[in-house]
Amino acid sequence: MTEPQYPSTGGPDQVTPPAPQSGWVQPQPAQTGWVMPAAVAQGPGKVSGLVIIAALFLLLVGVLTALGGAILMLGGTVLGQLGTTDTGTGVFGALGGFIAGVAVVVIVWALLEIFGAFGILFRRGWGRALGFIVGIIGAIFTGLALLASLGSLGSTDGSSAGTGVLVVLVVFLGYAVTVFALVRGGGHFRRG
């Protein structure tokens, strides 16, 4: 083997690189199994605007749904009280109890949307999971409501039915965008 040649003190400041080594070189050990990408290992990345929009949509829909549930609860209670004036519970009491039960389900659904929205805004993994589940279920039910409202579009007054279809379409698209944003925006969330 030859030694690398260095320039003299008066010559240019260049170093001749050493000659390539021939012979055996120890191989680098290969990594086995799954290796976490560097972007994931570092924690949450850049905040995703689409994920923030999805969280704000869930928050808005959750608050409006909670208000609707509260109105249902109040209506069920009032209707239940109509039957108890003289004759006992009767039909109005049963109907009021049913409406109040539906109101409880609506309020629980609204709370799931609101908690999911806050979890997404605070970049928590559980918020992403809850928002995804709420988004899927919401998209299924609003999709069915959209199909039903489109089916009744020709048989009723065009202006009121058209407005209803438009509202259901906007809510359906909101849920669909929420699901899409949460599937694509994994780097937005913290691990744990």
The secondary structure of the chain as a DSSP string is -PPPPPPPTTS-S--PPPPPP-S--PPPPPP-S----HHHHT---SPPHHHHHHHHHHHHHHHHHHHHHHHHHHHHHHHHHHTTSSS-SHHHHHHHHHHHHHHHHHHHHHHHHHHHHHHHHTT-HHHHHHHHHHHHHHHHHHHHHHHHHHHTTTTS-HHHHHHHHHHHHHHHHHHHHHHHHHHH-GGGSPP-
Higher pLDDT, 181 or 190: 181
Model pLDDT, residue 76: 86
13-27, 149-163, 171-185 — which one is most confidently predicted on average?
171-185
CA dist., res. 52 & res. 55, Å (int): 5
Q: What's the pLDDT score for residue 53?
A: 94
Structure tokens at 177: 């965008």
Contact 71, 106 (CB under 8 A): no
Contact by Cβ (8 Å): 92, 80: yes
Tens of pLDDT, residue by residue over 135-161, are 999 999 999 999 988 877 766 565 667
Q: C-alpha 72: how far from its chain's center?
A: 27
pLDDT of residue 41: 46
pLDDT digits (tens, 9 = 90+) for 94-141: 888 899 899 999 999 999 999 999 999 998 889 999 999 999 999 999
Q: Provide mean pLDDT across the span 53-59.
A: 95
Residue 7 clears pLDDT 80, i.e. is over it? no
Contact 48, 185 (CB under 8 A): yes
Band (29; pLDDT cuts 50, 70, 90): low
pLDDT of residue 148: 87
Residues 32, 108: Cα–Cα separation, whole Å:
46
What is the tens place of the pLDDT at every residue in 63-81? 999 999 999 999 888 887 7
Output the pLDDT for position 157.
60
